[in-house]
Amino acid sequence: MKKAIIALTLIVLSVAIFLTACSSPKSEFMSSFRNIVKNKQYTATFMLQPKEISGFEALDRLNPEALTASNVTVKTSRDTERDLTYSTFGIHIGGAPTMDLTAHSFQNGSTGKTFVPVNDFFETAAPVTNMLDLATDSVYSKVLSENEDLKGKYIDLLQTLQNVTGQVIDENTVDEQADQLQAIEGKTAFLLYKKLNSLDKSHYQTVNGTIKLTLNKKELAELANAWLEEFHSNPDFISLYAEIAGLTESQAEESWDANTKEMQESLKSLIQNKKIQLSTIMTVYPDSDKGVKKLVMAFDYTNQDKQQKLKFDFTMNLLDFEKIPTPPTKEDILTKKELDNVMTDIIRAQRK
C-alpha cells in the first residue's frame, strides 16, 4: 500500500531509461541513468488519454465523443530522503455537463500510512456533488453539513478500511506486501530491459531530437509471455497473489499456473489472428539534466471481426521538483471516535 503510487512511477521511468539505453551509446545511457537515480526529489505527471473507442458492447450506452474527451491524470512529488510522496489524482469526464474529480494523498513510506484530506469531500465541483446526491438520495451533502468541523483534517486510509470492512488489517502485512511489490517491479524492469535490448536496431528511430521505438503485435505478445514465464513461480508474486486472492500459497500457485496457461493460449491466438492488429509507438524526449523529460506511449488496437477500435496515449512528464506540502501531524488525523461518528451519521441519514 505504501508504494502504491510509486509503483507506476518506477515502471514508467524504467521504460524511459531502457529506451535510452537501447538507442544511445553506453556512456550516454549510464549518464542518463545516474542523473535519474541520483535525484532524491522529483515531480512527475502521468496522463491516460483515450483517442478512439468504438465497438465495445460494455461502452455502447456511453457517448464516444465524451469518452475521448475524458482523461485520467496523476501528479506525484517524491522525496526519497524523507520517504514522503504527495499525489494529486484527477478524472476529467467529457460530455455535457463536464465533470472533474480531484483527490490528494500523502504516503509515508516509513510507516506505510496513506492520508487523504477531508477537504477533498467539501470541495467537489457542483456537477459532482449533484451526481453524488442523486446517487445517495442527498445523504452525501447532508453528512457533510453535519461534519463541517472536520474540515482541515485527514483520513487514515488504513484505519478507514478497517472501520468500513470490519477486517483487522495488519500493518506488518501491508509493509511486507509493499516490499514484495517493489521486488516484482524490479524484476519487471530488468525483464523489460533484456527484451528491448534484444531488439534489432531497426526498431529505433531518431526523429527531431526524440527516440522512437515501434513494437508490433507479435513483439508485444512475446513481452507479455516473457513476463508470465518470469512470474510463473516467483515467490514474491505468489505470496502477494495469495494474500490478495485470499488463498493459501499452494492454492495460489495452482490458480496462477492455470491462469498462466490460459493467458498464454490467448497470446498464441492473438498472434495467429490476422484480423486483430495491435501496436505501440514509444517516444522518448531526452534531457541532459533529468535523463528523460517526457515519454509518450501510443497504443493502437483493431479487431476487424468485432469491428472494435481502441487508441489511447499514456504520457509521462518529468518536471522540476515541486515542494511537498507539510504532512499531517497526529493531531490532524481523524480519530477512531470521529470516524465512527461519521459512519453513524451516514447510517442515520440513509434511514430517514
- The model's confidence at residue 45, banded by pLDDT at 50, 70 and 90, is very high
Report the distance separating Cα 132 and Cα 134, nearest Å: 5
Whole-number pLDDT of residue 236: 85
Report the distance separating Cα 260 and Cα 233, nearest Å: 10
Whole-number pLDDT of residue 352: 66
Pick from 273, 195, 272, 179: nearest CA to 228 = 195
- The model's confidence at residue 336, banded by pLDDT at 50, 70 and 90, is confident
Whole-number pLDDT of residue 36: 52
Report the distance separating Cα 292 and Cα 12, nearest Å: 11
Report the distance separating Cα 45 and Cα 77, nearest Å: 9
User: Is the per-residue pLDDT at 164 higher than 80?
Assistant: no
Q: How many residues does the chain have?
A: 352
Bond before 97 cis per omega within 30 degrees: yes
DSSP annotation string for 243-261: HHHT--HHHHHHHHHHHHH
Exposed, middle or buried: residue 143 (CB in 10 Å: 0-12, 13-18, 19+)? buried
Percent of the chain with pLDDT over 90: 28
Domain map of the chain by residue range? 1-351
Highest mean pLDDT (candidates 23-37, 191-205, 328-342): 328-342
Report the distance separating Cα 352 and Cα 85, nearest Å: 41
Pick from 55, 67, 2: nearest CA to 275 = 55
Whole-number pLDDT of residue 30: 33
What average pLDDT does this structure show over 163-188?
72
Tens of pLDDT, residue by residue over 47-56, are 999 999 998 8
Tens of pLDDT, residue by residue over 290-304, are 777 888 999 999 999
CA atoms within 13 A on the CB side of 207: 10
Whole-number pLDDT of residue 212: 81
User: Is the per-residue pLDDT at 99 higher than 70?
Assistant: yes
Name the more confident of 178 and 152.
152
CA atoms within 13 A on the CB side of 185: 19
Report the distance separating Cα 32 and Cα 287, nearest Å: 8
Name the more confident of 336 and 36.
336
User: Is the per-residue pLDDT at 119 higher than 60?
Assistant: yes
What average pLDDT does this structure show over 78-93?
90
User: Is the per-residue pLDDT at 282 higher than 80?
Assistant: yes
Please give the span between the terminal C-alpha atoms of the chain, in angstroms, as a whole number: 36
In our burial notation (b when 16+ CB lie closer than 10 A, e otherwise), range 206-243 reads: eeeeebbbbbebebbbbeebebeebbeebebbbbbbbb
Conformation bin of residue 60: beta by default, left when phi > 0, alpha when psi is -120 to 50: alpha
Whole-number pLDDT of residue 120: 93
pLDDT, the chain, mean: 81
Radius of gyration for the chain, computed over Cα atoms and rounded to the nearest angstrom: 23
Whole-number pLDDT of residue 39: 66
Among 97-101, 154-158, 194-198, 284-288, which stretch is predicted with the lowest mean pLDDT?
Answer: 194-198
- The model's confidence at residue 190, banded by pLDDT at 50, 70 and 90, is confident
Report the distance separating Cα 276 and Cα 224, nearest Å: 17
Q: Output the 3-class SS for 32-67.
A: HHHHHHCCCEEEEEEEEEEEEEECCHHHCCCCHHHH
Tens of pLDDT, residue by residue over 214-232, are 889 998 888 888 888 888 8
Report the distance separating Cα 233 and Cα 242, nearest Å: 12
pTM across the whole model: 0.80
